[in-house]
Amino acid sequence: MSFTHTFDPTSLREYDIRGIVGKTLNAEDAFAIGRTFGSMVRRNGGKTVVVGYDGRLSSPTLEQALVEGLSACGLEVTRVGRGPTPMLYYASATLKADGAIMVTGSHNPPDYNGFKMMMAGKPFYGAQIRALGEHAQKGDVVPAEKGSVRNIDLRDEYVRRLVTDYDGGDRKLKIVWDNGNSSAGEILEKLVAVLPGEHIVLNATIDGTFPAHHPDPTVAKNLEQLISAVRDNKADLGIAFDGDADRIGLVDDKGEILWGDQTLIMLARDVLKTHPGATIIADVKASQVLFDEVARAGGKPLMWRTGHSLIKSKMAETGSPLAGEMSGHIFFADKWYGFDDALYAGVRALGIIARMGKPLSAFREALPGTISTPEVRFDCDDHRKFKVIEDVAERLRKAGADVSEIDGVRVNTPDGWWLLRASNTQAVLVARAEGRDAAGLERLKDAIVSQLEQSGLERPDFSGNNAGH
C-alpha cells in the first residue's frame, strides 16, 4: 500500500512538530511522523528508536499511532511509557538509540500536543523537520516491513542516576516542589523519597488538563502557589517544572523568583570550580550580568541563539559543560549527558544550595541590580518578521551601533541593552530590554519603538511590568 501524507503547515516548527489536537494534529499525523522519521533513521543506518509520552489526554493515542508508523519501517521500537521528556533523552543516551521521539505538548495549553525528536543522539530540527514533511508528502519512505516493539520501565534506574550526582553533604534543606501536574509526577515522587531533606510536593498528580495553573515556570503568575507555599512553610527554596519537565523555575527562601539566567550564574560558578576556563553558553535573552559573572568566575561566556536544539548543538561543538536559556532550559554536560533536564538541574541546584552555608536569597541579593522589561511578544506575519529584523539590522549597521546579530539584533548602549528577534516557532517578534536604571530603560524601549515604527509597525505593549533583576 503506497503511503503519502501532508501535514498542516503550521505544525512543522523549527525545533519540533506541534499543533492543536483534532485541528492541526491527529493520529494520522502521528503515524506519518513514525513512518517518515523511521525511514530517515533506517536510511541513516539505524535500526533502534525509543519512544515516550507525557501526561496529556491525547498522548496515549498519538504514541500508539507513532509506534505503528515506526514499526512499519522494520525498526526495533522501545517504549519507555509515560514520563518527563528528559527520561526519554536519558533512554536515548543510555540505550544508544539511533532515534528518539517524545510525544509532548511541553508547556502549551491542554489542547496542544507535539513531538520532540532526536537522531543519532543529536537534536532533530530545522531543515531535518522540513525534510520530514517533504518526504511524507512525496511518499518517500522505506518499503513497509514489520519491526518489533518492546516495553521497558526505566523509572527506578533514571531516579537512581539522578540522585548519584547529589552533593549537598549533611545539611538538610526544606524544599517545596511544584510539579504543576506535569509528566514528572511519578518520577518526582520516587526522587523525593531518596533525596535528603524535607520535601513538600504540590500538584503531584499527572493531569493533562493542568487544573492548578498553566505549566510554564517562566511566567510569574504560574509561580504564585509555589511562592505562597515556600513562605508559609518557611522553606529554603521552591522548584517548579513545565509540562514535560525539561524546564525549571526556582524560588528562594523569601519567595522571590530566580530567573533562568540567575539560576545559571549559580550553577556556572559551581561547575567552573572543576572546569576552570570552560565555555558557558546562554541565549541572547539573558542578562548582561550573567555574561559578566561567568567571566568573573573564570569562565568563557558565549552568547548563542535561542532554542534548545541550537544550544545543545553548540554545546557539543564547543565542549561546554553547562548552558542555559532564560526559558528555564538548563543543559548539563558536566557529569550528565548534555540535554535539558529540570529534575537533574534541581538535584544539582540542591547540592549547591546545601553547601552554600547561607540562604539562597543572599545569593540573589548579592547579584548586580538591573531593571528590565519582561519578554514582550507581539504579532508579526510569518513572512514579514524576518524581513523586519533584516531592515532593523541594516539601519543599525549604518548608524554604527554596537550590535550582535547572532539571533535577531541585540544592541549595547551606555544605558544597557535591547533585543529584537523573530520567533522561530510563532508569527511574532520578541523584544526585551535591560537598563541600569529606570530612566535608561525608558530610553532603551524608545529605541526599540523607533526601529519598529521605521519598519511600519506599531509600538508594542511594554506594560507587563518591569522586573528588577
Contact 375, 401 (CB under 8 A): no
Q: What residues form DSSP beta bridges with 50?
A: 78, 100
For residues 112 and 58, what is the distance between their CA atoms, to the nearest angstrom? 9
For residues 247 and 109, what is the distance between their CA atoms, to the nearest angstrom? 16
For residues 257 and 217, what is the distance between their CA atoms, to the nearest angstrom? 10
Q: So what's the pLDDT on residue 466?
A: 44
**Catalytic position from the list 11, 71, 106, 327:** 106
Burial of 36 (0-12, 13-18, 19+ CB in 10 A): buried
CA-based nearest residue to 163, from 353, 346, 339: 346
Domains by residue range for the chain, with CATH:
9-153 (3.40.120.10), 159-366 (3.40.120.10), 371-468 (3.30.310.50)
For residues 56 and 103, what is the distance between their CA atoms, to the nearest angstrom? 9
Helix (H), strand (E) counts: the chain: 14, 23
Please report, as a single letter, which amino acid is at residue 420. L
Q: So what's the pLDDT on residue 396?
A: 97
Please report, as a single letter, which amino acid is at residue 176. V
Q: So what's the pLDDT on residue 204?
A: 98
Contact 17, 131 (CB under 8 A): no
**Residue owning grid cell 541572547:** 284
First to last CA, the chain: 59
Q: So what's the pLDDT on residue 427?
A: 86
Contact 265, 293 (CB under 8 A): yes
| 383 CB neighbour count, 10 Å cutoff | 8
For residues 411 and 264, what is the distance between their CA atoms, to the nearest angstrom? 22
Contact 344, 165 (CB under 8 A): yes
- Furthest-apart CA pair in the chain: how many Å? 67
3-state SS record for 240-290: EECCCCCCEEEEECCCCEECHHHHHHHHHHHHHHHCCCCEEEEECCCCHHH
**pLDDT tens digits in sequence order for the chain, 469 residues long:** 589 999 999 999 989 999 999 999 999 999 999 999 999 999 999 999 999 999 999 999 999 999 999 999 999 999 999 999 999 999 999 999 999 999 999 988 999 999 999 999 999 999 999 999 999 999 999 999 999 999 999 999 999 999 999 999 989 999 999 999 999 999 999 999 999 999 999 999 999 999 999 999 999 999 999 999 999 999 999 999 999 999 999 999 999 999 999 999 999 999 999 999 999 999 999 999 999 999 999 999 999 999 999 999 999 999 999 999 999 999 999 999 999 999 999 999 999 999 998 999 999 999 998 999 988 999 999 889 999 999 999 999 999 999 999 999 999 999 999 999 999 878 899 999 999 999 999 999 999 999 999 999 998 888 754 444 4
Judge whether 92 counts as a catalytic residue.
Answer: no
Contact 329, 287 (CB under 8 A): no
Q: Cell numbers of 367, please? A: 547579584
Q: So what's the pLDDT on residue 170?
A: 85
For residues 418 and 462, what is the distance between their CA atoms, to the nearest angstrom? 13
DSSP 139: T
Q: So what's the pLDDT on residue 425?
A: 76
